[in-house]
Amino acid sequence: MSYILNCFVLGEDPFKKFFQFLLDTSEFPTIGLLKDAIITSQKLDFAAKEVKLWSVDFPITDANVNKKEKLDIINKCTNINVNIEDELGGVELPTFSMCSNEFITQKNLQHAHIIVQLPTERPVDDLKSTLEKLESKIDLIRSEVGNVYETSARLEIAKTNGSHYSSKFEISDLNGFIRLSLPRKKFANEKSKYDTPIYIQGYRANRLSYYIYNKNMKTALEESIKYIRSLPRINNFIESLNTLADRAEQALNDWKAFEKNSPNSSENRLFLANTKFLGVMLITSYIIDPKIAIENNHAPFNEVLELDIRGKPTSYHDTKNVSIEIGEIKLTTKNLLHGYRQLLIRLAALGYVIEALNSNDKDDEIADYSCDLVGILYVPKVPHIDVPSEWENGIKFPKGTTHTIRIVAVGDKP
90 and 167 fall within a common domain: no
Give the whole-angstrom CA distance, residue 153 versus residue 376: 13
Instruction: Sheet with 111-117: list strands edge to edge.
Output: 19-24, 2-9, 111-117, 52-59, 91-92
In the chain, the amino acid numbered 295 is E
Q: SS3 sequence, 308-354?
A: EEECCCEECCCCCEEEEEEEEECCCCCCHHHHHHHHHHHHHHHHHHH
Give the whole-angstrom CA distance, residue 68 versus residue 395: 59
Q: Give ∠ CA 4-6-10 in degrees, rounded to 5.
A: 150
276 and 395 fall within a common domain: yes
134 assigned to some structural domain: no
Q: Name the domain boundary from 117, 141, 174.
A: 117
104 and 239 fall within a common domain: no
365 and 284 fall within a common domain: yes
113 and 164 fall within a common domain: no
Q: Name the domain boundary from 117, 147, 176.
A: 117
Backbone torsion region of residue 297, taken as left when φ is above 0, otherwise alpha when ψ lies between -120 and 50, otherwise beta: left
Q: Return per-residue pLDDT of the chain as tens, 414 residues.
A: 889 999 999 999 999 999 999 999 888 999 999 999 999 999 998 889 999 999 999 999 988 889 999 999 999 999 999 999 999 999 999 999 999 999 988 889 999 999 999 987 655 455 555 556 555 554 544 454 445 455 556 666 666 665 555 567 789 999 999 988 888 788 877 888 888 888 989 999 999 999 999 999 999 999 999 999 999 999 999 999 999 999 999 999 999 999 999 888 999 999 999 999 999 999 999 999 999 999 999 999 999 998 887 776 565 577 888 888 888 877 766 678 888 999 999 999 999 999 999 987 666 688 889 999 999 888 877 667 788 999 999 999 999 999 999 988 876 543
177 and 62 fall within a common domain: no
pTM given for the model: 0.63
348 half-sphere exposure, CB direction, 13 A CA radius = 23
283 and 390 fall within a common domain: yes
* Domain span including residue 298: 160-409
| Cα Rg, the chain, nearest whole Å | 24
- φ, ψ of residue 107 in degrees (nearest 5): -80, 170
Query: Which residues on neighbouring strands pair with residue 169, listed in sequence order?
Result: 307
Give the whole-angstrom CA distance, residue 232 versus residue 173: 31
**How many domains does the chain fold into?**
2
In the chain, the amino acid numbered 384 is H
